[in-house]
Amino acid sequence: MQAKDTGEPVTVLFTVPEFQQRLLRFDGAGEEHRDDKRDEVLYVLEGSGIATVGGEKQALEPGTGVFVARGTPWRVESADGMKLLSVLIEAPLPATAPHALIESAERGSATAGREFALLAHPENGCQSVTQFRGYIPPGRAPDHFHRYDEVVYVLSGEGAFHVDGDSAPLRAGSCVHLPAGLVHCLENHGPGEMQVLGVFRPAGSPAEAYYPDGSAAVVPAG
């Protein structure tokens, strides 16, 4: 689906049993956020700012990922046209850190020439989900499914989402929910790389995928 960005301070994109995906906008300082029931993973889409997360000041720039465990307060102290993608995680597992800021990560390999960079995941305290930035080359991947439940937001590029013989256009701002077991594929119309932001649970590797017959997709060595 194409996300309906209303331009309001908070725009709910969609809600599913596992997640709620939202856009948050900040100009100047914001109010304190704290959720005692849900974890939250954030990603800076546009702009920049300074936030206090769990009592620590953090600089936020485009491409930064942030994990906030339930019960941890955070607040934007200052911002210049900053837009965040927020995913709230229902019934989270106990976190092993109250928060984490992830600025960058090395790319790993997935199937069909895809690559990914991990953001929030269990190694930095987020036990319930994996948050990653995905890089998709031009072309169409083979039909496949995952054993995790995922929400995807298109950061850049144009293409199509294919499932069960139907297709829907994808462009920057599109968001997709992929229930576990759904056979699907994403196609990048090119000419450049498509980039997406994914969050899935249970946490694991974005490279894990299975073909419709149940066989595991093979990730090339590299």
Bridge partners (DSSP) of residue 43 are: 65, 85
Reported confidence tier of residue 220, pLDDT bands at 50, 70, 90: low
Over the stretch 181-194, which tens digit does the pLDDT of each residue have? 999 999 999 999 99
Reported confidence tier of residue 5, pLDDT bands at 50, 70, 90: low
Top-confidence range, 3-7, 104-108, 202-206: 202-206
Please report the pLDDT score of residue 4 as a whole number. Answer: 62
Domains of the chain and any CATH numbers: 10-102 (2.60.120.10), 107-201 (2.60.120.10)
Flag whether the pTM goes above 0.85. Answer: yes
Average of per-residue pLDDT across 87-112 = 89
Distance from C-alpha of 218 to C-alpha of 199, rounded to nearest angstrom: 22
Radius of gyration of the chain (CA): 17
Residue 168, pLDDT above cutoff 90: yes
> What percent of the chain lies above the pLDDT cut of 70?
95
Over the stretch 82-98, which tens digit does the pLDDT of each residue have? 999 999 999 999 999 99
Neighbouring C-beta atoms of residue 203, cutoff 10 Å: 18
